Amino acid sequence: MSSGGRPIRVLNVAEKPSVAKAVAGILSQGGGMRVREGRSRFNKIFEFGYTIRGQQCQMLFTSVTGHLMELDFDDRYRKWHSCDPIQLYRAPVVKYVPEDKMDIKRTLEEESRNCQWLVLWLDCDREGENIAFEVVEVCTQANRHLNVWRARFSALIDRDIRESVEALVRPNQLFADAVDVRQEIDLRIGASFTRFQTMLLRDAFHLDFARDNRNVVLSYGPCQFPTLGFIVERYWEIQSHEPEEFWTINCTHNSDEGIATFNWMRGHMFDYTCAVIIYEMCIQEPAATVSVTEVAWNSSFTTNAAVKLSQTVPNYNHEWYWGSACSKVAKVRQEEKLKYPPHPLTTIELEKRASRYFRISSEQTMKVAEDLYQAGFISYPRTETDCFSQRTDLRAIVQEQQGHPVWGSYAQRLLDPGEGLWRNPSGGGHDDKAHPPIHPTKFSSGESRWSQDHHRLYELVVRHFLACVSKPAVGAETTVEVDIASELFSASGRVILEKNYLDVYRFESWGGSMIPTYTFGQQFAATTLTLDSGVTRPPTLLSEADLLNSMDKAGIGTDATMHDHIKKLLDRCYATKDSNTRFSPTNLGEALVMGYDDMGYELWKPYLRAMMESDMKLVSTGAKRKAEVLETCLEQMKACFLDARSNKAKLFEAMEVFFERSGRSGADEQQAGGDITRRCGVCQESDMVLRRKPDGNFMVGCLGFPQCRNVVWLPGSLAEAAVTTNTCSICTPGPVFMIQFKFRRLEIPHNYNVDHLARAGPTTTSSSNQQRNPRQIACTHCMQYGHSSNVCPSQVSHSSMARSQGVNQQNGKISYLS
DNA sequence: GCAAGGTC
């Protein structure tokens, strides 16, 4: 690979300090590793010697902390009032290293200069590949002779790491491109819609939840809105639910051994007459017949409530019948059933289970998990992997837990071959190729500085892990099917034979209920046979676990960000969470979704994100080019944005359902609506927009107000003024949009045309710096000061119409200038 | 003041 006896100096960069430390530790096995400080106090530099394919290397190992760079608009477009939001679809964007990452950048630059190789140890996912290219950009700027390599590893395990060093590859540009696409689309869509809807609605309504409207931001994001959409959609389902009455026949039988409750196998019947007829048949026909129907197995851990939107609850007892109906046992089935332990723990499962078992929010779960990870008690908490690598020493992890006062004895039983409790964990088939499932990495019987949540989450991680390597619980199930007048009823009971993993996984249970013994062909008289009624109930509000589930299925967010999106909805006052972790939309959240829904857009549905995700896949495989995907996606979104803007009345109507109009809606709404004529020639930063003041007069003012006070007052004789799509062919910098004027007939000479096309002219820098009477009137043709339209320099050259119709107002008088 | 994605 390289010649000579001098060792190659290799700069290795990992995505986070912990990985740098771990990999350096593995490769330097046997010692000789030195640690020194970099410029960033979190990102140390590890140094040691290593031999790669026979080549002596001096290894320097450091890290970044996630993305090194950020994407944002060019300075000129960063301020909210700097431009019409529509321009954000074309405005130049820049990738830059933010201030808080500059020290990491400097370390990379300094170390790069003294190295020949750069080896990238970033996580093996798309984001990791993108970060790799950020690192490459910084490092090769400092040393363009660097030989750049990528290490591919799937776990921080000796063999994996050593093998990946021997099989270095080049970084994959396509993976990084896919992330570039996502970043740019998210930024442009997010910023444009956020600015638009904030400026449109914030001041137009009394937002009762906010102390000060000025601080309210009505954000839009391709992840936060679909998440809100899930909440609103469920809320609407509940509101639109119409209870429906149903009927069902229930049967019980008391014997010496106990009571059995038989359920009608038809379930619920919505036709009363039909139900009554069958019921009559049952009580009049004592003879039972034998059926050959297979017994359906009802999974005890998939409850109806979780599967069906409408739950049914009997609430009315119609009639009693005592005694003589004869039931015959048509079938008795006894089977062994297994209840399997969960798959190894992923981030989303951790969040869902913490919410279900302890009602800890996903945000708090991630905060505490990060803490436990930092302190070395659990493995990396952001993972999608739900199967362990075959090389993981699972028994060693169990061994560590043997001393625990509560679950230590279970760990001992697991390791005892005589117990036969061990089972190699099954996986769910997900592997992010970057991190193992969440598991304990250090024993603790509780630390003094731990909060209750720390205790609970550590316990959950440990018990979950122990459960994963345990045998499933074993139960004996009996299902008895009886036949009354050809109607089938069934009852089942379960006895748990071996608890196995349930012994340690106290969060799950497996309900056992006994029923009396029945034998095939046995006849008995039902103790009660009743026709009961009930009503269908609406589904419940979404719980945090439900919400995470919906997001996961629809591909909204990542394991590391889902909790952020949920929190954002609460922070933005789009949704609330009750004590039972159930989410409801607020008025604001509902209004926004309603507004977009009324427009007929699915901006609040997950499809947009799903489309982006599939486009990203195509980019990452090379099936589509980055520029092509960006172009088409942004073009579509831009069209959608324009459409939404022209349909802004729908948003207003939806908001009016919940909020009172404030009467204020001035400059901001104007901008959201966008009547931009040209770029401001004074500050050169913001746009000039056409506005009508409360006194009825028109003006063209800079959006940079009050920082920039550039303004052009239009003649008071105007009845109407509107920015057109015609652009001036002379004025620079373009585009300069022409304004259509309509004068008041009575205020201008009778032979003057009321319609007039002009442009808001270039206010030169020199004239704008002078103190100016704000009421000074500009030339109506080019909107410049210092001359009247009859001597307007631009008139002679191009606009014959304007020339013949020039008009000026001076000293309150209209004078016609031909 | 805006997105979502990394991460401390």
The pLDDT tens digits of the residues spanning A678-693 come to 777 776 766 666 765 5
Query: Residue A708: its pLDDT value, please?
Result: 62
What is the SS3 assignment for A598?
helix
CA A569 to C1' B1 (Å) is: 17
**What is each CA distance from A257 to A260, A397, A515, A518, A522, in whole angstroms?**
9, 47, 8, 10, 15
- Band of the pLDDT at A817, cuts 50, 70, 90? very low
User: For residue range A625-642, what is the model confidence (pLDDT) as tens digits?
Assistant: 999 999 999 999 999 999
Give the residue whose CA sits closest to B4 at C1': A186
Which listed residue (A50, A220, A235, A380) is catalytic?
A: A380
Instruction: With beta carbons less than 8 A apart as the criterion, state whether A39 and A45 touch.
Output: no
* Range with lowest mean pLDDT among A196-210, A281-295, A570-584: A281-295
Range scoring the smallest mean pLDDT among A30-34, A657-661, A707-711:
A707-711
Enumerate the nucleotides of strand B whose atoms come under 7 Å of any protein CB. 1-8
Pick A149 or A289 by higher pLDDT: A149
pLDDT, chain A, mean: 83
Which residue's C-alpha is at the least distance from the C1' of B6?
Answer: A66
What pLDDT, on the 0 to 100 scale, is given for residue A327? 77
Query: CA of A80 vs C1' of B2, distance in Å?
Result: 8
- The more confidently predicted of residues A323 and A361 is A361
Please say if the pLDDT value at position A346 is more than 90. Answer: yes
A73 closest-nt by C1' vs CA: B2
Using 50, 70 and 90 to split pLDDT, how confident is the model at A337? Answer: very high
| pTM across the whole model | 0.79
pLDDT of residue A332: 85
Element (H, E) at A59: strand A55-63
In chain A, the percentage of residues whose pLDDT exceeds 90 is 60
The pLDDT score that the predictor gives to residue A665 is 61
CA at A666, C1' at B5: how many angstroms apart? 36
Q: Is the pLDDT of residue A487 over 80?
A: yes
Of A285 and A18, more confident: A18
Q: Which nucleotide is nearest to A217 (CA to C1')?
A: B1
Q: Assess contact for A443 and A401: CB atoms under 8 A.
A: yes
Query: In a 10 Å sphere around its CB, with 0-12 CB exposed, 13-18 middle and 19+ buried, how is residue A668 labelled?
Result: buried
Q: Note if A505 is an active site residue.
A: no
Q: A74-78, A640-644, A736-740: which range is least confident on average?
A: A736-740
Q: Tell me, what's the pLDDT at A239? A: 96
Look at A604-613, A735-744, A770-779 and tell me which has the smallest mean pLDDT. A770-779
Q: How far apart are CA A230 and CA A571, in angstroms?
A: 17
Nucleotide nearest to A225 (CA to C1'): B3
Residue A537 has a pLDDT of 96
Task: Specify the higher pLDDT residue, A710 or A459.
Answer: A459
As a whole number of angstroms, the distance between CA A39 and CA A106 comes to 7
Which uninterrupted H or E stretch holds A194?
A: helix A173-201
Q: Give the distance, in angstroms, between residue A68 CA and nucleotide B7 C1'.
A: 10
Q: What is the pLDDT of residue A680?
A: 72
Helices and strands in chain A: count of H runs, count of E runs: 24, 28
